[in-house]
Structures are given as structure tokens and as C-alpha cells.
Structure 1
Amino acid sequence: MERWNRAMAAIEEALDADIEVAALARHALTSEYELRRVFSVLTGIPLSEYIRRRRMTVAAAAIVADREAVQDIAVRYGYSSADAFSRAFRAVHGVGPEQARQPGAVLRTQPRLTFHLRIEGSSEMRYRIVRKDAFRLVGRKARIPLVYEGPNQAMIEFEQNLGQQERERIAAPSNEQPTGELAVCHNFDESREDGSSFDYYVAAATTSAVPADLDVIDVPASTWVVFEAAEPTLEAIQQVWPQAFGDWFPANPYRAIPAPEIVRADYDEDGALLGAEVWLAVESTA
């Protein structure tokens, strides 16, 4: 985690200057993609939003001191106008700069984040590494909001509206691992924050010919890490992502790469969840 904390320190040093994500990624010895992705998964907010909140936290001290014009403070923290700065300030603190200068004004703070490796290793993760040639994911898609915890109602409604017959038609061409009907998450908003949007597919993995009316993702040859959900519950499946990026990736010589994220679930005859696995594309850092 030391390299991630170096990136956090670099943010603090440049709150009154331009902050390049590429430079932060170099501090963390990772890619811009992985830096943004892991940060959002572990903290629940996008990297850009964290930087904005930290800037407004520090800028609040200058505002309250009331020794400089708002325009001068705005320029110092990278805003071209007092209006743009005031909008950002209000979004974080709930009040504008002039209101913040009034006696008794209540402001908010974004604490500086630091990352710590949990030495106890209490969360065991079962996984396997799979190397696959190119294949296609084919099915139906919808643009829906990202939900980190609890049921995703938009996802549920999309699956229900497809109907069982259509879902069986989608699964029919499956001839590749992971087999059967799959839940596929792809093309996330850059922020990847709770409530942002992504493409959700009910799909199958195949190399066969498929109906022309289905949506298709061409997946190049890749290495995949396949995690087993600890329990047959929605909560356990959702916890795979924070456990993977918080525990597994820091301890193993791999990093995530841009690719569809796949969930394969098994059910009994009554529709009860028996188990699930999450497929994430990776590359070796060894």
C-alpha cells in the first residue's frame, strides 16, 4: 500500500496546482485505468470527486479567513472564475463561499485518505487462473445504474422483461467457459461511483454463429482470475470486488485490465442460488 499512499501524498502537494492522473499512476506504479478503478471500488467515490472534495476542504480555510477575494482563491485552486469555484464549493459544503464567511456557518470536510494492508488476512479468497483464446459474449443489454450494495432493481426488471424463453435463446449458443447464462458488466462510467451507469448484459460466451439481433462484445485472448463467492448470496457476490481489489490484487502479481466483468451463477431446480463466480481479466506484473 506504500505506493498508493505516495499517490495520495502527491495529491496533497498539488491541491493548488494541476493534478495529472497519469502522474499519480506513476507514483502508484500502476495504470491510469487501474488507479481510477481500484480507487472507486475501495473508497466508493471516484478519484476526481475525492480530489475536488479535498480541494474544497483546504480552500474552506482560506474562505473563512476572509483575507482574500473569492476570485483569487478560485484561481489558486484551479478554477477560471469565481462562479465555477462557488458551484464546486457549494456542492461540497452545502453553502457558497460568501455564506461560509458568515458567523456560525457549518462546513464539511473530506479527510485525507490513506491505504492500509490488512495483515491478518482473515478473508480467504478461492480463485483460479484461466487463459482463454478470443471469444464473443452475445445477448441482450441495457444501460442501468451501478449499485454496490443490495438488489439492483433496474437489473431485476431488465431480466424479468426479457422473459424465460428469450433467456434460454441467449444461452443456447454457449460453448465456452464460463458456460450457460451469464451476467456481464461492461463499459462503466469513468467515475464508477455508486449510481453511475454501465452496460448490463444477459449473455453467453461462444465462438459459434449467433442470431443477428443479439448484442455482441468481442473479447480478445486474455488471462482471467476467477473468484468464487464465499457464500451463495447476493451480498457475497457483491463483496468479491472490494475483496479482490483490497486484498487479492495487492498480494498477487497481477493487475486488472479493461474487459467485461462476468458473473456465472448456479441455481437449483427451485431457483435458489447455489454458488457463483466472478471473472476479471488480468495481466501479470511478474
Structure 2
Amino acid sequence: MEWLNRLNNSLDYIEEHIDDKIEYEELARIACCSVYHFQRMFSYMAEMPLSEYIRCRRLTKAAFDLQRGDKVIDVALRYGYDSPTAFNRAFQKFHNVSPSKAQKEGTYLIAHPPISFKITVKGVERMEYSIVKKGEMRIVGAKIRLSRGDDGQMSEGAMEENFKMVPEFWGTVGQDGRLGKIISMMDSKSKGVLGVSACMANVENWMYYIGVETDKDIVEGLEEYVIPATTWAIFKGRGAMPTAIQDIEKRIVTEWFPTSGYEYGDGPDIEFYLNQDPVNSEFEVWIPVRESK
């Protein structure tokens, strides 16, 4: 329950700063996780990106301010719009009326109330998992740098950009021959091809790796990454990709975490792909965890 309380405290922070700059790093600090994990959790639980939720709340509050008689330009600046034109465009798209019309009595407007997170009883389908403490893992593969926004500060659109970059990277690695090299690096330590999101709170550059765990020497065109010793919650899954793995990851956040006594640890997320059949894929999702405080 403490984990849910911290998430709801982060929502309180959003409301308190809705007409100010919302620091994603502060949201993550309140929730005791990395910015990457916070945005990922939020999108699964709220079923919308964090940036979209903030935009909806600001435009909802903007309508209230206009109805009270505030000037359009003042409201636009209050909620982070650089110009009345940009504000007018966003407001009209959300409310289906212009800001000036919103000031008139009897105009219908859209409200997006603040959300809160609660436990709901589902239990429709069981989840198979284990908790494992594992030492360092050396992987060899290809990597891409993920976005942290402008000047290294997390922006509202950076996570959405990363969600597009990762599948494109898999396509590139498959086409340019690096995936074949990665598979050739497999040895007795390898159990499958990994997708590793190294987006921890204490690292400057976020990276995504496609690789295998191996003791073999690095070959040209590939790189090494050592995953720190970590406690993992490991979930088994199977089914058609990418839907099957997305469903498992959503259920981990919305069903397993709230009552598990664990929370996100400060380590990378790992997806283990155990076969090459996209229709009947077998995989594992490894989540870094620690006991809830």
C-alpha cells in the first residue's frame, strides 16, 4: 500500500504545480523510482502518457480560469503556452471551442478530473513469477542512446519518442547484420536474446541494448555492457508478439506490484526472448525490485 501512497503523492505534486513547471525528476523522487520507471508505470496504470494527462489537466484548469473572467493571454502563459496562438490551437482541439467562446455563459466545455490510483480486485488470470538475486551479467550486443529530452532534462515528449525508437532499432539491427552477430555470440550462459532498457536514476545517458549474456570476446561492431548485481522479479510469458509481452508488463504494474511488498529497484529492465517465433513467442520479463520501505 505504501507504494500506491507514493504514487498518489506524486499526483498531488502535479496538481500543486499544474500552473508551474512540473519536474519529472521530482515526480520520480516522490515515487522512489527512476523517471523512466515512473512514466512507464503511469502510462500502464492511467492508460495514457504522463504528458497527455498533464496537458488535459492544464486545459481543464484553463477553462475554469477563463470562465472566471481571466484574460486569454494570461491563462495561456499560466499554463505554459508561449503564445495565444499555440494556446488557442490546443484549447480548441481539447474543448472543441475557442478560448474566447469559453468565456461566454452557457458554453459546453470538457473536464478531465484528477486521477488517483487504487487497488482493484481482478484475479482473472494467474501470473507465474520468481524472485531471484543474481550477480553481475555481462552482455554483448548493439546499443542505442535513448532520449532524455532537451539538454538532458526529461521533457514531456521524450518517453513517447523512446517508445518509437526501440522497435525501429530492432528493425535496423536485424537488417544491418548485427542481430546475426549477436546470436553467434551465444554460449552456455545464454538463454535467449535480451532487450535491456538501461534507464536508471543514477546514470547520465539512457541506453537500450540488444544482446546476449556471454563469456565470448567482443566481435567488431558490437559492444559490452555489464548489468549490476540485482534482485529480480522474473515473469514468464508466451503468446503473439508484441501484444503478449505488453500485456504482461502492464499486469506487473497494475496487478502484481500494488500487493507484492516490492517496488522498482534502480536497475535496468530486461526482456528475454527465448525463441524466434513471433506468433507463439516464449519470453521472460525481468524487473529490478527491492522490498517496499
**TM band (smaller chain):** 0.7 to 0.9
Is 2:52 the partner of 1:38? no
Check the 8 A contact 2:33/2:266 in 1, yes or no: no
Check the 8 A contact 1:155/1:200 in 2, yes or no: no
Question: 2:182 aligns to what?
Answer: 170
Shift of 1:204: 0.7
Check the 8 A contact 1:21/1:32 in 2, yes or no: no
- 3-state DSSP class of the match of 2:239? coil
Normalised TM-score (structure 1): 0.72
Which stretch has the larger CA shift, 31-40 or 247-256? 31-40
Question: 2:246 aligns to what?
Answer: 238
Q: How far does the alpha carbon of each residue in 1:252-275 deviate from its partner, in whole angstroms, 9 at most, with x for none?
A: 23222454432223338x886352
Unmatched runs of 5 consecutive residues or more in structure 2: 147-160, 201-205
What letter is aligned with 1:12? E
* Identity over aligned pairs, percent: 32
Is 2:60 the partner of 1:57? yes
Which stretch has the larger CA shift, 96-105 or 110-119? 96-105
Question: 1:191 aligns to what?
Answer: none
What letter is aligned with 1:171? I
Check the 8 A contact 2:190/2:214 in 1, yes or no: no
Question: 2:119 aligns to what?
Answer: 117
Question: 2:151 aligns to what?
Answer: none
2:188 & 2:267 partners in 1: Cα distance?
Answer: 17
* 2:288 aligns with one of 268, 281, 285: 281
Check the 8 A contact 1:265/1:273 in 2, yes or no: no
Normalised TM-score (structure 2): 0.71
Check the 8 A contact 1:136/1:216 in 2, yes or no: yes
2:185 & 2:130 partners in 1: Cα distance?
Answer: 25
Alignment of 1:75-114 (within 5 A): 75-77=77-79, 82=84, 85-86=87-88, 88-90=90-92, 92-93=94-95, 96-98=98-100, 100-101=102-103, 107-114=109-116
Distance 1:5 1:141, change over 3 A: closer
Question: 2:140 aligns to what?
Answer: 138
2:107 & 2:211 partners in 1: Cα distance?
Answer: 52
Is 2:172 the partner of 1:158? yes
Unmatched runs of 5 consecutive residues or more in structure 1: 189-197
- 3-state DSSP class of the match of 2:138? strand
Distance 1:91 1:199, change over 3 A: farther
What letter is aligned with 1:161? Q
* 2:128 aligns with one of 118, 126, 129: 126
Measured on the aligned residues, the alpha-carbon RMSD in Å equals 3.8
